[in-house]
Amino acid sequence: MIDLREVSTPALAYLGDCVLEMCVREHLVERGLSTSAHLNQAALDFVRASAQAEAMKRILPLLTEEEEAYFKRGRNIGHTNVPKRATVSEYRTATGMEVLFGYLHLSGQKERISELFRLAYPEGALQ
């Protein structure tokens, strides 16, 4: 059993990025996309820092105190490299989301991951 308090914030973000990527890929396959070109293009609507920041705004009010603490832990990490297409605020928020999903994964909260992902990316937001 891993002590989540001892897992570094960058490690949680690294894992959370993968967890989110799996959620996105599963969602896109379930939507019927079948070519790698279509799948990769559609995935950008989810994984851009700006998209993750918008998604995080939707779920932030729904988080428990502990979930919010992990989000803030990631959001407040010092960033030295910010993508050209994202603001510092968007990138920090996206990192917070990744840390949150990394924490949820390591704590075995698969249903909560699915629930928050669905709420973060409602169908209407994907246009």
As annotated, the active-site residues are 17
Query: What residues does each domain of the chain span?
Result: 4-126
pTM (predicted TM-score): 0.90
Q: What distance in Å separates the CA atoms of residue 116 and residue 21, rounded to the nearest whole number?
A: 14
Identify the CATH homologous superfamily for domain 4-126.
Ribonuclease III domain (1.10.1520.10)
What tens-digit pLDDT sequence spans the chain (127 residues)? 788 889 999 999 999 999 999 999 999 988 888 888 888 888 888 989 999 999 999 999 999 999 999 999 999 987 667 777 888 889 999 999 999 999 999 999 999 999 999 999 987 344 3
